[in-house]
Copies of this chain bind each other. A is one copy, B any other.
Amino acid sequence: MRCKRGSEFSVFRTPGLLAAGEVPTWFNSMLGGRTTLVVTTPTVHRLYGTQLVSALQHVGARVDVLVLECRETEKTLEQVERVCSRACDLGLRRDDIVVALGGGVCSDIVTVAASLIRRSVSHVRVPTTLVGQVDAGVGIKGAVNFGHKKSFLGVFHPPTAVAIDSVALATLPAPAIRDGIAEILKIALVHDASLFAGLEAFAPQLVAQRFQSETGDELIEQAIVAMLEELETNAYEHQTYRRLVDLGHTFGPRLEEAQGFGVTHGTTVAVDIALSTAIGVELGLLRPNDQRRILDVIRACGLPVWSQALTLALCHRAIVDAERHRGGALNLIVPCGIGSACVVPDAGSVAGVLHHALRRARAATVERMELATA
């Protein structure tokens, strides 16, 4: 027996939606007249809830709003059940819609719930964080933590549409902006040299102005396009375990764990990228000059290039984890130029240079500190 499923979705820029409730033209065809369950978080609801609901009502949607705490520690199956419960009470039908208005955690919970409700209902994402807009929100994955394992339960469930309004970033705290910029840097490094050049030129202003500029909008769009192009070839991750978008996500998880909950995802991605870059140089895949450019951009984004928690032992544990997740091979993504990356399948070759790479990565910090104190 053979069975095939295909789907398609579009990511729309929707300026004016969250600030003024302006109705995008596609709302009518996709949401018009349907029962729509909007899932959001307390803060986002207070800031943008009314505007989104009014835009939905404008196209005749019957709207209900469910406000959930969406912290990382709340990314649980219980939260998914809350969404399902409300959907059940509403009598949500297969052709009705769930909308995720919020950050990555909100999107994760809604994606899993929408996938399960009546064996999948459509969902629309309105990401309100930079990570959501350039990374988590435009992918097709959703997951929740389970039994102390991060994202142990999840789904592949493409959204019907994603609405991007950068005005939502204006109210974000700086660490949240940096979390997003780390993902932009990641996709730039593996896929788009000109996006990297954009970060090189504008990173400090982008962070300071929270992307509230034409340049900000352009770079977000460029990052989304790069991400979609990269994902499209292997959306369900069944083609290959060699995913360039895994750059920065090999040592990061263990680092996050070691540093406790205080640390943000973006800082571990940055430190991971810096180490992967050093590994690239040690393996002869990347020129030292490119390493310098990469580290400079990381710093310009306000992100760290090194962490004291990044020990040899931690890296070895992370390598074992990664092998487990990627079908038995490490498949480490390493920049091998600006805008292109290679896959190092073998854990042995990485382990062989790890000691030197760690020294190289740390040296960059020391050098910098010496410069600063000179």
Contacts and interface: CB of A to CB of B under 8 A. Distances in A.
Nearest to A113: B153
17 contacts: A1-B8, A1-B158, A1-B232, A2-B232, A3-B8, A4-B6, A4-B7, A5-B5, A77-B81, A84-B147, A89-B147, A94-B325, A115-B155, A116-B155, A117-B153, A119-B237, A120-B155
Given A2-B7, A3-B236, A77-B77, 4 more contacts: A1-B158, A1-B228, A1-B232, A3-B6
B89 A154 contact: no
Interface of A: 1-11, 77, 81, 84-85, 88-89, 91, 93-95, 112, 115-120, 138, 140-141, 143, 146-147, 149, 152-156, 158, 228, 231-232, 235-238, 324-325, 327-328
Q: Which 10 A-B pairs have the closest CB atoms?
A: A3-B235, A88-B147, A4-B6, A119-B154, A116-B153, A1-B228, A5-B236, A2-B8, A5-B5, A1-B9
A154 B3 CA distance: 17
Nearest to A325: B94
A153 B8 contact: no
A6 B9 contact: no
Contact of A119 (B6, B141, B328): B141
A95 B152 contact: no
A4 B1 contact: no
A119 B139 CA distance: 14
A112 B80 CA distance: 14
B10 A84 contact: no
Nearest to A228: B1
Highest count of chain B CB atoms <10 Å: which of A115, A119, A120, A325: A119
Contacts of A228: 1
A33 to B, nearest CB: 11
Nearest to A154: B119
